[in-house]
Amino acid sequence: KNQVEQSPQSLIILEGKNCTLQCNYTVSPFSNLRWYKQDTGRGPVSLTIMTFSENTKSNGRYTATLDADTKQSSLHITASQLSDSASYICVVSHYGNNRLAFGKGNQVVVIP
């Protein structure tokens, strides 16, 4: 079983609308959690990184939250733009060996 589960697998949203992506993880002990954006055919680009003591982090229209007790994170996209169409990958770092566990990604398609 994957240590990082993301939902929904994919979603389509209208330009200008908001959406929220979910990430549940079982990695323990946990060091930090990252959200990456990956455009089709490109490498992932970091959006946010949070340690267990941080429960929210913003990067422009992207806001990530973290609940280390329930092992859940979310990424909220505000006022979506066509350029937000991408895969959003949740990545959890294992404390100690620093190995990264990747989710499969949330595929977001923004339509005009």
Partner 1 sequence: DTGVSQNPRHKITKRGQNVTFRCDPISEHNRLYWYRQTLGQGPEFLTYFQNEAQLEKSRLLSDRFSAERPKGSFSTLEIQRTEQGDSAMYLCASSRGQGKHEQYFGPGTRLTVT
Residue 78 or 85 with smaller CB distance to partner 1: 85
Q: Of 38, 30, 39, whose CA–CA distance to 3 is shortest?
A: 30
Residue 76 or 104 with smaller CB distance to partner 1: 104
Residue 18 or 56 with smaller CB distance to partner 1: 56
Binding mask 18-57 for partner 1 (x = CB under 8 A): -------------xx-x-x----xxxxxx--x-x------
**Contact predicate 110/85, CB 8 Å:** yes
User: Which residues are within 8 A (CB) of 50 and not within 5 positions of it... i.e. 6 or more apart?
Assistant: 32, 33, 34, 56, 57, 64, 66, 73
- By CB under 8 A, what part of segment 81-110 binds partner 1? 89, 91, 93, 98-100, 102-105
Distance from C-alpha of 55 to C-alpha of 66, rounded to nearest angstrom: 5
Residue ranges binding partner 1 (CB under 8 A): 4, 31-32, 34, 36, 41-46, 49, 51, 89, 91, 93, 98-100, 102-105
